[in-house]
Amino acid sequence: MIYIYIITIVQLFSFGELNAQIWSGTIQYGKSTIDYHVELKKVENQTKAFFTSIDMNAYEIPCQNTTLEQDTLKFYVVSDFYTYEYQYVKQSENFKGNLKIYSNESEQLLNSFETKLNKTEPYQQNKTEKKDFTFESNGLQLYGTLWKPKESVQKGLFFVTSSQGNDRSGTNAEAYYFTSLGYTVFNYDKRGTGKSDGDWQSATIEELCSDDMNALEFFSKISSLPLADIGIKGSSQGGIKIPYIMSKMPDLGFGISVSCPACTLLESDLNHWKNLNYNNIGKDKIELALKVQKAGYNYLAGNILYESLEQLKNENSNEDWLKYIWIPERDVQKDYKLNFSGLPYFEKITQPVLVIQGLADEVIPHNSYKSIEKGIRKSNSTNYQLITLENTSHSMTWLNEDFPYFQILSPEYLPGISDWLTKIRNN
């Protein structure tokens, strides 16, 4: 999934009574632009700012220390590696200024770009409505959000939960994007994340999918959309769940699987480890090191005894590359999800499906999309599409050499999905 950590300090010129206002900005570089907006509103008698950029997969990130001051606008956005300083001067009803980017490590100014900020007209604001819900799944209380468009296309999109302890906020930017296109959307906190009860670490993929399917039934009920008008979307571990859920719920309308490995999650994790450590270990030793690391993952997945892992470790105790190997403790909590593969379930689907893979993905095997296509060809799905994106990572971010300071979604990613959805909606 994509994470953006932002701490913002805002100073704005005073323009009278402040209700909720949205200021839209652009950063121009080369032939490209990054769009964002800052929403200003009164919260407990204080002015608060919230930062949103679909290009950066950020939605309503709360800003800090917001003040209004004369005819200048200035705010800072701080990520793990960079500090972004926005400075503006008021021109008529809008702002013009620049963005300066500093290294957090050296505090050195790295680059500067022109940017501008325009007041968003009221009729362009508030194209979506959100409402939070709770529902029960497998004895657990789970929390989710229903996103309703002002102008609906009478179709629904459901976000399948993904890996680790990520809550629904990781899909908020995309939920906002698709809702603005007219889709009714639902996302929720996976068990053990956000506000939801339970423990995701000990759960199997099948148990997590059961939560997804219960959430889908709940979504259908509160949105008054039949399952045939609802599709599901997931990325990484969420992507591997897409064909499983589609095969178990044949009434679903469609599926979108992003960054899905054509293998088990264990093999995908091992592929990622190899790509991260190949240069450290070297061509001559990587296969032996890979064997030891695979044993570590196999123990975590409950496939081998600890004695087998320990023996393999001891046999290579004098190797320099052993420091790059992760060896789990004997009492580690097992993760049986590692043994799951979605590939067999692609053969069982009947609905339209879209598969997307970034060709700079270092997590899943490079030819995953080709194996997945072979599986879909064996299914009864006659309406499918595969999209590969150049220079695009596992999290769908795109490396732009002209502007390497932000993690930006591939410019073809969301439009590609939107075009496909329009196509199947018109069929």
> How far apart (Å, rounded) are the C-alpha atoms in residues 373 and 11?
52
Quickly count: other Cβ atoms within 10 Å of residue 419's Cβ: 13
Indicate the residue type of 133: F
| Of residues 10, 131, 127, 7, the one with CA closest to residue 77 | 7
**420 forms bridges with which residues in the sheet?**
none
Helix axes 237-248, 205-223, angle to 10 degrees: 70
3 state DSSP class of 309? helix
Q: Is 209 exposed, middle or buried (0-12, 13-18, 19+ CB in 10 A)?
A: buried
Q: Quick one: which of 301, 302, 293, 304 has its CA closest to 327?
A: 293
pTM above 0.85, yes or no: yes
CA–CA dist 364, 344 (Å, integer): 17
Residues in Cβ contact with 266 at an 8 Å cutoff, skipping those fewer than 6 apart: 294, 297, 298, 301, 338, 339
Q: What is the mean pLDDT of each run of 10 residues along the chain (427 residues)?
A: 34 45 82 84 76 92 72 78 84 84 94 84 69 98 97 97 93 97 98 97 96 98 98 98 98 98 98 97 97 98 98 96 97 97 98 98 97 97 95 91 83 97 92
Residue pair 109/82 in contact by the 8 Å Cβ criterion: no
Q: Residue 129: which of 222, 233, 261, 32 has the closest Cα? A: 222
pLDDT at position 68? 65
* pLDDT at position 10: 37
Tell me how far apart the alpha carbons of residues 244 and 250 are, in angstroms, rounded to a whole number.
10
Distances in Å between the Cα of 187 and the Cα atoms of 145, 235, 237, 240 are: 6, 13, 16, 17
What integer pLDDT is reported at residue 148 of this predicted model? Answer: 97
Q: Are the beta carbons of 223 and 146 closer than 8 angstroms? A: yes
CB of 292 closer than 8 Å to CB of 312: yes
- Return all residues near 276 (Cβ < 8 A) that are at least 6 apart: 362
Q: Are 333 and 201 in contact (CB under 8 A)?
A: yes
Q: Residue 72's pLDDT is what?
A: 77
Q: CA-based diameter of the chain, in Å?
A: 74
pLDDT of residue 150: 92
How far is the C-alpha of 241 from the C-alpha of 342, rounded, in Å?
A: 6
The predicted pLDDT at position 6 comes to 35
What per-residue confidence (pLDDT) applies to 149?
96
